[in-house]
Amino acid sequence: MTAAVIVAGCVGVGLALSRTTVASSALAARRHLDRGARRALGVMARYAPPSAATEHIGVPIGEAAMDVYLPEQASAGTPVPVVVWVHGGAWISGRSADVAPYLRLLAREGYAAVAVDYTVAPEAAYPTPLHEVDAALAALVAHADEWGVDPSRIVLAGDSAGAQIVTQALTLILEPARAEALGIAPVVAPSDIRGLIVHSGVFDIAGLAVERGLLARGLNAAVWAYTGAADWATLPRLSGLSVTAAVSGAFPPVLVSGGDADPLTARQSHPFRDALEAAGVPVTALFWERTRPRLGHEYQFDLDRPEARRTLAATISFLGEVTAQGDGAGAASAG
């Protein structure tokens, strides 16, 4: 998905706020964002196998669902590590199928890949997606033997708004008080989470409030739709959405990336990387510079680009390092 598509979708929300409701504006923006997702899906499909060895599509997790892509190794008697992916879409669009080809690529490498089809806004508001990610993790534990997966070797992953959601889900696993405040009791332990992969993410929600221009107006409206609050930047109950402030040495190794034409890279991903490094967390950072043409938002899915293919290779290498057998989180080298 290009930066232009994100801008068009989010600006569509922002410009419409003065003449209609946030909900109807979000639905209008969704159409723009969904078109971009379909284009990205077509590119990824050219590089991915048509299916994983075994697929379970639409597994119920409460009111939501998840898709499970299993490698051949999952039926060979040795449980395989798991990647749980939360899709992007500015909290107001997207579906698990948007990342299906990418997850089939990961399954081909020997990982069980799970896409969480969480409920987007305005149909559901925060913290519903966090409950649904937690339900997906609980389902993995419940079906571990049936699916041949190892719930003690999980990597959480997400793109764009999904990067924010999955990182916040990680903070709930690491800090029980945060989870309890949202009515969540995680079934996995911190040591079960071996790594975090985040692309083109938003990590400081409050920071969006000080942005200027059309993109800022659109993002403001999208967060309004997600949180149900016009004053979301100042509400104490929503402070947990700004996950950079929650970074600690308890975080597992992290792979973080962003394109050089994506305005969120410098203003969101770079500070997140800096906070991780300051806390002593192993970081693999993939931030591109002086690319031609420049890399936009969600560049990692544009596998026609060599940079995206290099990011996929780095992702597979990262997964191998952090999910290696053994107790506790693995180690990844800074990049």
* Contact criterion met (CB below 8 Å) for 264 and 315: no
Going residue by residue through the chain (335 aa), what tens digit of pLDDT does each one get?
444 444 334 433 443 443 356 766 777 677 777 777 788 888 999 999 999 999 999 999 999 999 999 999 999 889 999 999 999 999 999 999 999 999 999 999 999 999 999 999 988 999 999 999 999 999 999 999 999 999 999 999 999 999 999 999 999 999 999 999 999 999 999 999 999 999 999 999 888 876 555 566 667 778 888 998 888 878 888 889 999 999 999 999 999 999 999 989 999 999 999 999 999 999 999 999 999 999 999 999 999 999 999 999 999 999 999 999 765 544 443 33
Q: Which residues sit opposite 64 in a β-bridge? A: 61
pLDDT at residue 98, as a whole number: 95
Residue in the structure block whose two tokens are 């284009």: 39
How many Å apart are CA 298 and CA 262, to the nearest integer?
A: 8
Residue in the structure block whose two tokens are 């962003």: 258
The domain defined by 3-322 carries CATH number 3.90.226.10: no
Which amino acid appears at position 117 of this protein?
D
In the residue annotation, 242 being an active-site residue is answered as: no
For CA atoms 95, 96, 102, 104, the dihedral sign is: negative
Q: What is the DSSP letter of 3?
A: H
How many Å apart are CA 44 and CA 27, to the nearest integer?
A: 25
pLDDT at residue 30, as a whole number: 74
How many Å apart are CA 314 and CA 305, to the nearest integer?
A: 14
Beta carbons within 8 Å of 45's beta carbon, 6+ residues apart: 101
SS3 content of the chain, % helix, strand, coil (to 5): 50, 15, 35
Beta carbons within 8 Å of 213's beta carbon, 6+ residues apart: none
Q: Which is catalytic among the residues 93, 96, 160, 242?
A: 160
Coil, helix or strand at residue 224: helix
Tokens matching residue 20: 């209609």
pLDDT at residue 215, as a whole number: 60
pLDDT at residue 38, as a whole number: 82
Burial class (CB in 10 A: 0-12, 13-18, 19+), 161: buried
pLDDT at residue 152, as a whole number: 98
pLDDT at residue 231, as a whole number: 83
How many Å apart are CA 71 and CA 109, to the nearest integer?
A: 8
* Nearest alpha-carbon partner for 203 in 245, 175, 157: 245
Tokens matching residue 223: 């967060």
How many Å apart are CA 207 and CA 199, to the nearest integer?
A: 18
pLDDT at residue 18, as a whole number: 37
The 3-class secondary structure across 120-161, one letter per residue, is CCCCCCCCHHHHHHHHHHHHHHHCHHHHCEEEEEEEEEEECH
pLDDT at residue 241, as a whole number: 93
pLDDT at residue 9, as a whole number: 43
